[in-house]
């Protein structure tokens, strides 16, 4: 049992500090340190500081509304390749903050297992970002060279008040979309002869299945504690917070491995198509 006299640094303060680290390399290190320190019992179970409204961001990339993003271009040109990896790096970088914020904002309410799961997600995302940055460096490119969109964090801002909404939207819709699109990207990267890139994407896909599963498990547990059916609650929350984002094609096997209900997302996709 932790007491007010516990001399260890507070868990919330450590998570907040990582969220407020702007430099990508420093954020990777801070995130891995928080996850490690929590796992090793070096942080006290104290939620004595609030999470920031927005995490710190580096000066670059320039963040644009999704509709203002330049087209990546087709084909196997070096420019198109770099644009693809830059987009993936941005998703993984923002995912670090999404997982940190999940643990820091809702951990007191949800408990130690929840914090452990989402700090492990944050550490995974930090590792993904780091290996992508290294891969990009081999192409003579770096994160920040191109603009990026700000849509991912907007989903977090819309759900700061409700852990069920955050779980429904971030792991169970946004990350689940990664399960759907990554296999085709992986095939394209492999066909271009980029064996290292293919290995990176295979690793990310395997990890993301686990991340989505954490989301679906904690969402179901939260719904059961509140005495509401998880499937209908998820459909209602996604209809409220996500506009038209649930659409096929779906990676049914990966989604099933992650604990997502095919009946639910198929019904939502059908409703979106007819709406």
Compute how many other C-beta atoms are within 10 angstroms of the C-beta atom of residue 220.
Answer: 18
pLDDT tens-place string over residues 24-58 = 999 999 999 999 999 999 999 999 999 999 999 99
The rounded percent of the chain whose pLDDT value lies above 70 is 95
CA atoms of 58 and 159, how far apart (whole Å):
24
Give 245's DSSP letter: -
Q: How confident is the model at residue 275 (pLDDT cuts 50, 70, 90)?
A: very low
- Mean pLDDT throughout 131-158? 93
Q: Which residue in 4, 177, 159, 203 sits closest to 91, CA to CA?
A: 177
Q: Which two tokens stand for residue 49?
A: 């500081």
Residue 127 has pLDDT above 50, yes or no: yes
> Minimum mean pLDDT among 21-25, 71-75, 119-123: which range?
71-75
| Mean local confidence (pLDDT), 115-121 | 98
pTM of this structure? 0.94
Mean residue pLDDT of the chain comes to 93
**Res. 259: pLDDT tops 90:** yes
**pLDDT confidence band for 74 (50 / 70 / 90):** low
Task: Tell me what pLDDT residue 231 has.
Answer: 94
Please provide residue 143's backbone torsions phi and psi, each rounded to the nearest 5 degrees: -60, 130
**Tokens 């500081």, residue located:** 49
- What pLDDT score does 248 carry? 87
As a residue count, the chain comes to: 275
Q: How many whole angstroms separate alpha carbon 103 and alpha carbon 116? A: 8
Tokens in use for 260?
């997502």
Do residues 108 and 47 lie in contact, with contact meaning Cβ atoms separated by under 8 Å?
Answer: yes
Domains along the sequence of the chain with CATH: 11-274 (1.20.1260)
């Amino acid at each position: 049992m932790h007491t007010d006299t516990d001399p260890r640094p507070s868990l919330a303060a450590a998570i907040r500090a990582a969220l407020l680290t702007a430099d990508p390399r420093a954020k990777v290190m801070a995130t891995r340190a928080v996850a490690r320190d929590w796992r090793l019992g070096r942080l006290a179970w104290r939620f004595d500081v609030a999470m920031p409204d927005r995490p710190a961001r580096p000066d670059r990339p320039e963040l644009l509304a999704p509709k203002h993003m330049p087209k990546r271009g087709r084909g196997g040109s070096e420019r198109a390749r770099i644009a693809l990896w830059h987009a993936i790096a941005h998703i993984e970088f923002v995912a670090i903050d999404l997982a940190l914020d999940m643990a820091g904002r809702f951990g007191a309410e949800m408990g130690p297992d929840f914090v452990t799961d989402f700090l492990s997600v944050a550490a995974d995302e930090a590792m993904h970002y780091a290996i992508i940055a290294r891969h990009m460096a081999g192409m003579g490119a770096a994160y920040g060279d191109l603009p990026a969109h700000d849509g991912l964090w907007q989903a977090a801002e819309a759900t700061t008040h409700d852990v069920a909404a955050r779980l429904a939207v971030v792991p169970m819709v946004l990350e689940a979309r990664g399960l759907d699109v990554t296999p085709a990207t992986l095939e394209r990267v492999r066909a271009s002869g980029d064996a290292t890139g293919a290995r990176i994407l295979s690793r990310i896909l395997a990890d993301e299945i686990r991340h989505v599963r954490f989301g679906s498990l904690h969402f179901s547990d939260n719904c059961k504690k509140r005495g509401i059916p998880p499937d209908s609650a998820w459909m209602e929350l996604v209809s409220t917070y996500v506009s038209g984002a649930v659409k096929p094609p779906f990676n049914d096997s990966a989604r099933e491995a992650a604990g997502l209900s095919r009946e639910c997302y198929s019904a939502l996709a059908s409703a979106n198509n007819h709406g």
